[in-house]
Amino acid sequence: MSDTSQVTSTSESDKTYWKANLRIIGWSLVIWALVSFGFGILLRPLLAGISVGGTDLGFWFAQQGSILVFLVLIFNYAFVMNRLDRQHGVEE
């Protein structure tokens, strides 16, 4: 472990990198909760007016929509973070 502790001095750059990471995680999790617990469960009565194939939008989010949004969130995170790694020079 001795060589790794040498490279990982907590520079200012590393701190801003970590803050940026936390910000991205924060936004992603807000959307994550909104589509599943929000649209899929708690806010479903509010969306009841929007009909989708014999039922309402909330049902669609609960059974399909949220899964599609989860996929977008993960790929978006991977893309944004891999770019951020390079910007801060912390990539492997």
Partner 1 sequence: MDQFTINLLFVGASFALYIGIAIWARAGSTSEFYAAGQGVHPVTNGMATAADWMSAASFISMAGLIAFTGYDNSSFLMGWTGGYVLLALLLAPYLRKFGKFTVSEFIGDRFYSPTARMVAVICLIVASTTYVIGQMTGVGVAFGRFLEVSNTTGLLIGACVVFAYAVFGGMKGVTYTQVAQYCVLITAYTIPAVFISLQLTGNPIPGLGLFGDHAASGEPLLAKLDQVVRDLGFAEYTAHHTDTLNMVLFTLSLMIGTAGLPHVIMRFFTVPKVSDARWSAGWTLVFIALLYITAPAVGAMARLNITEMMWPNGEAVSVETIENDADYNWMKTWEKTGLLAWEDKNGDGLIQYYNDKNPEMAATAEANGWTGNELTKFNRDILVLANPEIANLPGWVIGLVAAGGLAAALSTAAGLLLAISSAVSHDLIKGQLNPNISEKGELLSARIAMAVAIAVATYLGLNPPGFAAQTVALAFGLAAASIFPALMMGIFSTRVNNKGAVAGMLAGLLVTLLYIFLHKGWFFIPGTNSFTDAEPLLGTIKSTSFGAIGAAINFAVAFFVSSRTEELPEDVRELVESVRVPRGAGAAQSGH
Residues of this chain that bind partner 1 (CB under 8 A): 1, 3-5, 7-8, 10, 14, 17-18, 21, 25, 28-29, 32, 36-37, 40-42, 44, 52-56, 59-60, 62-64, 66-68, 70-71, 73-75, 77-78, 81-82, 85, 88-92
> Among residues 49 and 89, whose Cβ is nearest to partner 1?
89
**What is the nearest approach in angstroms of partner 1 to the Cβ of residue 36?**
5
d(CA 31, CA 70): 9
H or E stretch at 19: helix 12-33
**What is the nearest approach in angstroms of partner 1 to the Cβ of residue 68?**
8
Q: Over the Cα atoms of the chain, what is R_g?
A: 19
Tokens standing for residue 27? 């936004």
> Directed axis angle between helix 66-87 and helix 12-33, to 10°?
170
